Amino acid sequence: MTLRENVSQLMPQARQELAELVALRSVADPRQFPATECEQAARWVLDKFAEIGFADAHLEVTPDGSAAVVGSRACSDPQAPTVLLYAHYDVQPPLDDAAWRTPPFELTEVDGRWYGRGAADCKGNIIMHLAALRALGEDVAVNLKLVVEGSEEQGTGGLEEFVPGHADLLRADAIIVADTGNAAVGYPAATVSLRGMVNVVVTVEALRSEIHSGMFGGPAPDALAALVAMLATLRDAHGNTTVTGLDSTRRWEGAPYPTEQFISDAGLLDGVQLLGDGSVSDMLWARPAATILGIDCPPVLGSSAAVVPRAAARINLRIPPGTTPEEAEAALLAQLRGAAPWGVHVTIEVEAIGNPFEASTDGPAYHAMAAAAEEAYGRPMARLGQGGSIPLCTVFQQTYPGAEVILIGVEEPLALIHAPNESVAPSEIEDMALTEALFLQRYAALQR
Ligand SMILES: [Zn+2]
C-alpha cells in the first residue's frame, strides 16, 4: 500500500479520535470550565502517543500551572536528525453559544466539513500528527520528539517560560509548529512570517481638574484634544501607519492575500475603503500597523460641559520581521512625545513587547517540507504571513539557534478558528498528514 492509501484508510479513525478530543471542553480557564477537562485532554494525548511508541510520554507542569505532554521516540540510527512535533490541546472558549449552528463540543459533519471548537485549532493538528505517524508505522528514520501544550490560547506563556530552562528535553534539528494552515483548502502553504508588537498606554495631563468649558474653554489646554492630536500623527490621509523611523513602504514577497477575500473576512461595510498605499499583504505582513485599542476619557453619557484635564489611550503597534520591538518602541515613544502640543504632561507606560518571527526557508527541513507538500497536493507550497504573533516560535528560535522552525497545519481560512462555528476540512487533515509523513521520509533521506 502507498503512503497515501495508508493515510486514507486511517481517516475513519481520525474522525472518531477528533470527536473524542473535541468532546473534551479543554478551555484552559478554570473560571469557565472545570480543570478536569484539560486534564482529560492531556491524558488522552499522552495515551495516544504512548500507543505509537512515545514510551516515555509524560506530563510536564509549566510555570503557569498548565501541563504539557512531552515525549520522544528514537530511531535505530543515533546519527539521524531529530524532529520536534508541536501542537496544543487547549481551545478557545465557544464564545457566543447562540451563534453556533451545531453543538460546539460535539464534532458534527455539515456539507463535508467537521464542526466543533478546536476541530482545526489545534486538535485537528494533533490528529494530523497521529495519522502521519501511524501511516509511516515503524518506518521513520528520524528521532522524534513531541510537545503538546495546554495553555496556548490563554496567552499565559507557560511553555514559553518552560522551554529555555529545559532546552535539552525538546532540542531538535527541525521543529514542526502545527498551529497554522494553508492559503485555502487544497493549496499548501507554510507560514514564514509573524508580526511582533509593542503595546503602550499614553497618558496626557493638562489641568489640575475639570473646568467649565464656558468659563475656561478656548484658552484652557484640553488634554483630550492634545491626545487626539498626538494619535492623529500615527496615520496619514491614506491610512498608512506613519511612525517616523519605521519603514512603511516594504512589500510582501510571498503569496498574496486576495483583496476581495480580505474585505469579506474583515467584514467591511459597503463603501468603506481599505487603508494604505500597499496591497493587503503589504499592509498586513510587511509594514508596521498602529491600532488605538482604547481611550480613557469621559463617556458621552455622563459627560458635562467641562474641559477634560486628563486622557489616556492604549496603542497596539504591530511590526513586521526586520524591525525589533526595541527600535519600534523607541520610535513610537519619540513620536508621541514629539507630537504632544501645548506643553501638556505626557507619561507612557510600555505594557508588552513581542518579537516578530521570520522562518528560514533555505534549510534542508524547509526544502523537504516544500517537496512533500507538492507531492501530496500536486501544487507548490506557498509562503504566507500571519498578522498575529506566536511568541513560542521566537522562544524556539532563540533557544535552538540552529533549528529550522516550520509552521504548517489544518487551519485554513474557512476553519474560522477562535470564532463560533469553527470547523475543519477532513481533506486537509488527510492531505496534511500525508505531507507530514512524506516530509519525515524526505528529511531523513536528505541527511544520509
Ligand atoms: Zn492554535
Tell me, what's the pLDDT at 146? 98
pLDDT along the chain (448 residues), means of 10: 97 98 96 96 98 98 97 92 98 93 98 98 98 95 97 90 97 98 96 95 97 97 98 97 96 92 90 96 96 95 96 97 96 98 98 92 97 98 90 95 97 94 98 98 88
CA 178 – ligand 1 centroid, Å: 8
Tell me, what's the pLDDT at 78? 80
Tell me, what's the pLDDT at 266? 87
Q: Where are the alpha helices (DSSP H) in 58-193?
A: 123-136, 158-165, 167-170
Q: How far apart are CA 327 and CA 331, in angstroms?
A: 6
CA 423 – ligand 1 centroid, Å: 13
Residues measured by CB to lie within 5 Å of ligand 1, the ion: 121-122, 179
Q: How far apart are CA 375 and CA 353, in angstroms?
A: 39
Q: How many residues does the chain have?
A: 448
CA 417 – ligand 1 centroid, Å: 8
Domains of the chain with CATH codes = 3-194+356-446 (3.40.630.10), 196-260+272-354 (3.30.70.360)
Task: Examine the residue annotation and report whether 152 is marked as an active-site residue of this protein.
Answer: yes
Tell me, what's the pLDDT at 388? 82
Whether the CB-CB separation of 117 and 20 falls below 8 Å is answered with no
CA 88 – ligand 1 centroid, Å: 7
CB-based burial of residue 192 (10 Å sphere; 0-12 exposed, 13-18 middle, 19+ buried)? buried
CA 191 – ligand 1 centroid, Å: 13
Whether the CB-CB separation of 422 and 115 falls below 8 Å is answered with yes
Phi and psi angles of residue 83, each rounded to the nearest 5 degrees, phi first: -115, 125
CA 20 – ligand 1 centroid, Å: 18
Tell me, what's the pLDDT at 448? 63
Tell me, what's the pLDDT at 110? 98
Per DSSP, the three-state class of 398 is helix
CA 357 – ligand 1 centroid, Å: 16
Annotated catalytic residue, options 90, 121, 149, 411: 90
Task: Examine the residue annotation and report whether 90 is marked as an active-site residue of this protein.
Answer: yes
Q: Looking at this protein, which amino acid is placed at residue 407?
A: L
Per DSSP, the three-state class of 125 is helix
Annotated catalytic residue, options 152, 153, 411, 422: 152
CA 414 – ligand 1 centroid, Å: 15
CA 76 – ligand 1 centroid, Å: 33
pTM for this entry: 0.88
